Amino acid sequence: MTMLNRPRRMRESSFSRTLMRENNISVSNLIYPMFVIEGTGVRQDIESMPGIQRLSIDELIKDASECHQLGIPAIAIFPYIDKKLKTDDASEAFNDDGLIQRAIRELKKEIPGLGVISDVALDPFTLHGQDGLIDKAGNILNDETVSILTKQAISHAKAGADIVAPSDMMDGRVQRIRKSLEENKFINTKILAYSAKYASSFYGPFRDAVGSSELLGKSSKKTYQMDPANSDEALNEVELDIQEGADMVMIKPGMPYLDIVFRVKQTFNKPTFVYQVSGEYAMIMAASLKGWLNQDDVILESLISFRRAGADAIITYFALEVARLMDSKQ
């Protein structure tokens, strides 16, 4: 019997597999999330995220410089705020001399070519660990929260942030932030909207990293983050954020929501980012440290899955490790 079609023929050789490869991962697709803490010379391990640390600003500059040298185009920064600065009104969030604002200024001073993405959300700054202001009954106050988020975004833009990234999931916040940026002449400050952010159980290690886990306790964020069962709702959220002025949209978490990444990219053809969140990182690291998985291979496979689904950029705690790995192979 003559077999005319043998798909394995193209998989037989390394060079032909390379030639027919449909998607690739490069350093230019990666964003490195980093945690900043007060002090000097501080490198504080995060127990639930092996290999990731909270860094004082001087140490942040060192690691960010390596990111830039290795070709990572941008970093995303998140604060660990002293408990005495946490308040019901989250006023520290828009303090022009706050931790994040100082970190942004130093980053842009020392590494001007590195993109800096700042997180616009209130959970590191509130006494209760929620992303918004609450009333006496514990309900999230949407419009009052948006007012604070807008002030926070402007303080980041003043400090020099290239991209402000509202991750709170309040209704209407992108429009208010965009309008305020325009009014304050920050016409080139970009907005990365966490448009499809799910009420996921994969965020635990991140909440440890920013110090909101113990404050949140058994409370949830289900009244503003999305139901993991929903897909069409994500398209509605993304469409609203684009209409309100978002330059890029985010899906979070990553691997459990590849279908959402695909649908968003196919529907809107807008710059589409995905966040490989702390729980995804922790699972891969735990299994790798046990010797159950090949760490490098699994990391790269997970990242290519995001690209295959349509993601233009990936926020991942593996970014620096992957950049080092790729650099060593050149």
What residues act catalytically? 197, 252
Angle (CA) 52 54 58, round 5° = 120
The answer to whether 290 touches 236, Cβ cutoff 8 Å, is no
| Structure tokens belonging to residue 6 | 């043998």
**Computed from CA positions of residues 248, 251, 255, 260, in that sequence, does the dihedral angle turn out positive or negative?**
negative
Q: What are phi and psi of 248, to 5 degrees?
A: -140, 150
Residue with the two structure tokens 């020392």: 110
Nearest to 323 by CA among 30, 20, 4, 9: 30
Tokens found for residue 93 = 């969030």
Q: Which of 105, 98, 157, 158 minimizes the C-alpha distance to 122? A: 98
For the record, the structure tokens of 158 come out as 């003043």
Would you tell me how many other CB atoms lie within 10 Å of the CB of residue 240? 16
Q: b or e along 101-140 (b: 16 or more beta carbons within 10 Å of the residue's beta carbon)?
A: bbbbbbbbebbeebbbbbbbbbbbbbebbbbbbbeeeeeb
The span from the CA of 57 to the CA of 46, in Å, is 17
Query: What are the contacts of 105-109 at 24+ separation with CB within 8 A?
Result: 105/159, 105/160, 106/57, 106/60, 106/61, 107/60, 107/61, 107/64, 107/75, 107/77, 107/160, 108/159, 108/160
Q: Which residue has the tokens 């001399």?
A: 97
CA distances from 102 to 38, 61, 65, 316 (A): 10, 12, 17, 24
| Among 73, 90, 70, CA closest to 30 | 73
